Structure 1
Amino acid sequence: MYLKTLHLRQFRNYQDQKIEFTAPKTILVGNNAQGKSNFLEAVELLATLRSHRLARDHDLIRDGDAIAQINATLERALGISDLTLTLHRHARRSVAINSEIVRRQMDFLGVLNAVEFSSLDLELVRGSPENRRNWLDTLLIQLEPVYAHILQQYNQVLRQRNAFLKKSQESGVRSQESQLSIWDAQLVTAGTRLIIRRDRAIQRLAPIAAGWHASISGSTEVLQIQYAPNVPLAKNHAEEVQQAFLGKIQQRTASELHRSTTLVGPHRDEVKLSINQKPARQYGSQGQQRTLVLALKLAELQLIEEVINESPLLLLDDVLAELDPFRQNQLLDAIQERFQTLITTTHLGAFDSQWLKSSQILYVRTGKIIN
């Protein structure tokens, strides 16, 4: 796939900016806080309807404006698509394909595929389990767009169940548990669908990431990625997972009523990352952690490419400065002409002359992009 144009209106610090992409690699150069990351964030939103910054819609709209819009022209094997995402300060966002409003947002997903790699991704190793769950969910949304709907369903039931638990002190225990069983059934149904898809994705991703990691580390280290669900998998059969889920949640009912929150479910899952059988979060050096994240991102690219039979876009947000020269070369060699790549940087020193000759170079200054 190839992103031909991107047009931003009142998005972040851009008032009205349109760019036509003329090379497989585009390098956006500028000082910090000029809008380079905002530009990549717009592409990421079109791909996943999520931002790795986890911003709310009104934070994405330029100060003083009520609406922001991202428009892109995308060329794929099946033809050209015009994509539009409209963000409203006081209303729900809307999406359109070829000027036709798409009522179900999951039908918008999967048209544009992209992998974002930013300095924030080092938190995949160092940060909390929530970081790793968000990363896995974003990947799954691109592999299976229906996953976005399933995740939304689960989160909605989880919020409602937690709200019920908080009010539970007002009624009798018998009444509480009777009503709670209704929420249990809904949570188990939606949660099981998440668990099975997360496990399947990790099973496919893990060997690919291990291969990349071995290549980058010179086969001196072994990367292991393990999905550690909060509910036992029970051989990955939906009925068995549901039974295990329901059994565990019933065991914790008293604790949940006491603490007024849901203690069981995929919102408490973990993805374990190990190097040579030691937790990377605790024992990995900075270099090892960077190698691990780089391997994960390259694996994401490869897995999405295998699933959709086209190369996704690669968005590199100021990561070359985070990598030593060897890892930079590993990344740049892996890209070559295989993926359309948008790169942000504060300077061009990390690129060799051949790369610069084959790249479109744009300069970003206070929300304006110039050639």
Structure 2
Amino acid sequence: MYLKSLNLRSFRNYRECLVDFDAPKTILVGNNAQGKSNLLEAVELLATLKSHRAVRDRDLVCEGTAEGKIAATLERANGTVDLALTLRTQARRTVSLNSETLRRQLDFLGVLNAVQFSSLDLDLVRGSPEMRRNWVDSILTQLEPVYAHILQQYNQVLRQRNALLKAFRKESDSNNSTANTQNSSELALWDAQLVTTGSRVTRRRARVLTRLAPLAQTWHSSISGRSEVLELKYAPNISLEKDDPEAVQQAFLEKIQQRRIAEQHQGTTLVGPHRDEIEFTINQTPARVYGSQGQQRTLVLALKLAELKLIEEVVGEPPLLLLDDVLAELDLNRQNQLLDAIQDRFQTLITTTHLGSFDAQWLDSSQILCVEAGQIKR
């Protein structure tokens, strides 16, 4: 797939901006806070409908305006597609394909595929389990767009069940036996929904990590000079011995029953994929605790290259690669490994504050754009 053009209107610090991409690699150069990352964020939104930098749409729209728009023309193997996302400060966002507004945002996902690698991703190893869960969920959303709906369902059930557990704890403190009986009956209904939706999330995470792990191991071995062995392990909150819907649901239910008293005492759900972990070990040592900064950078780079390969395998076309000010964080060896892996195979958008990280061959084959105060010039 190839992103031919990107049009931003009242998005972040871009009032009106049209970019035509005429080379496999585009380098966006400029000082900090000029809008380089905002442009990559726009592409990320078209790919996943999410931003890792903002939660609310109003934060994405230019100050003083009611709505902003991101539009793009994408060339895919089966033809050209026009995408558009309209963001509003006071109303719901809308999406359209080929000028037709879609009723379901789910139908927008999977049209444009992209892998983003930013300096924030270097916290993937040392950061919280939530960061690693979000990373896996983001991959799944692109590979299997219906997963976004499954995850949304699970989170809705989780919120409702947590509210009930809080009410249960409150009534228990006041020794209201009638209310406790009613809450217990209602809790059983939410248990069943939590098990159903949670099992779908768990099984899909397990499957995608099983496919991703060998790809990451191969890249890691290459980057580390075959001196280190990476293991990527999914550690779900429940016992997961096989990918069987009934077995997973049964394990889920048993774990809920085991933690019943603790959940009612704490007033929150203690069982489910919202408590999953993804473990990285290097030479059988936990990378989160013992990995050096260099080892952690190698690990994250291997994960991102594995993401690229997996999406290409599943989708049948190479995704876009978005590199947000990450080359400065990598030493020369890792930079070369990354740049050699990209070549002209993946359309790549790179932000940087200077061009010193690139050799002459790369600069000659790249489109170089200067970004200054929301304006882009060649």
In structure 2, the residue matched to 1:45 is 45
Question: Is the CA contact (8 Å cut-off) linking 1:13 and 1:366 kept in structure 2?
Answer: yes
Which of 238, 242, 246 does residue 239 from structure 1 map onto? 246
The code of the aligned residue for 1:218 comes to: G
Alignment partner of 1:309 is 2:342? no
Whole-angstrom CA distance in 1 between matches of 2:282 and 2:91: 46
Q: Quote how far apart the aligned CAs of 1:233 are.
A: 1.0
In structure 1, the residue matched to 2:122 is 122
The code of the aligned residue for 2:37 comes to: S
Which of 252, 255, 259 does residue 252 from structure 1 map onto? 259
Q: For structure 1, which segment, 53-62 or 93-102, has the greater mean C-alpha deviation from structure 2 after superposition?
A: 53-62
Question: Is the CA contact (8 Å cut-off) linking 2:27 and 2:352 kept in structure 1?
Answer: yes
In structure 1, the residue matched to 2:188 is 181
Alignment partner of 1:293 is 2:300? yes
CA deviations over 1:75-102 (Å, ceiling 9, x no partner):
0000000000111111111110001111
The count of residues paired between Structure 1 and Structure 2 equals: 371
- 1:326-337 matches, within 5 Å, as 326-337=333-344
The SS at the match of 1:111 is: coil
Whole-angstrom CA distance in 2 between matches of 1:239 and 1:53: 38
The SS at the match of 1:68 is: strand
Alignment partner of 1:267 is 2:279? no
The SS at the match of 1:337 is: coil
Q: Quote how far apart the aligned CAs of 1:54 are.
A: 4.5
In structure 2, the residue matched to 1:367 is 374
Whole-angstrom CA distance in 2 between matches of 1:191 and 1:88: 32
Question: Is the CA contact (8 Å cut-off) linking 1:301 and 1:311 kept in structure 2?
Answer: yes
The code of the aligned residue for 1:132 comes to: R
Whole-angstrom CA distance in 1 between matches of 2:244 and 2:74: 38
In structure 1, the residue matched to 2:93 is 93
TM-score (norm: length of structure 2): 0.97
In structure 1, the residue matched to 2:69 is 69
Whole-angstrom CA distance in 1 between matches of 2:93 and 2:253: 35
Which of 201, 206, 223 does residue 208 from structure 2 map onto? 201
The code of the aligned residue for 2:14 comes to: Y
CA deviations over 1:295-344 (Å, ceiling 9, x no partner):
00000000000001100000000000000001000000000000000000
Whole-angstrom CA distance in 2 between matches of 1:65 and 1:274: 48
Whole-angstrom CA distance in 2 between matches of 1:34 and 1:54: 17
Whole-angstrom CA distance in 2 between matches of 1:233 and 1:68: 44
Whole-angstrom CA distance in 1 between matches of 2:154 and 2:64: 35
CA deviations over 1:2-25 (Å, ceiling 9, x no partner):
000001111111111110001000
Q: Quote how far apart the aligned CAs of 1:174 are.
A: 2.1
In structure 2, the residue matched to 1:24 is 24
In structure 1, the residue matched to 2:142 is 142
Whole-angstrom CA distance in 2 between matches of 1:313 and 1:79: 17
Q: Quote how far apart the aligned CAs of 1:55 are.
A: 2.7
Q: Structure 1 stretches of 5 or more lacking a match? A: none
Whole-angstrom CA distance in 2 between matches of 1:122 and 1:54: 19
Question: Is the CA contact (8 Å cut-off) linking 1:234 and 1:244 kept in structure 2?
Answer: no
Q: Percent identity?
A: 70
Question: Is the CA contact (8 Å cut-off) linking 2:124 and 2:300 kept in structure 1?
Answer: yes
Question: Is the CA contact (8 Å cut-off) linking 2:54 and 2:60 kept in structure 1?
Answer: no
The SS at the match of 1:220 is: coil
Which of 313, 319, 328 does residue 321 from structure 1 map onto? 328
The SS at the match of 2:150 is: helix
- 1:147-226 matches, within 5 Å, as 147-168=147-168, 169-170=170-171, 172-226=179-233
Question: Is the CA contact (8 Å cut-off) linking 1:11 and 1:69 kept in structure 2?
Answer: yes
In structure 1, the residue matched to 2:349 is 342
List structure 1 segments (4+ residues) > 6 angstroms apart after TM superposition.
Answer: none
Which of 264, 267, 284 does residue 277 from structure 1 map onto? 284
TM-score (norm: length of structure 1): 0.98
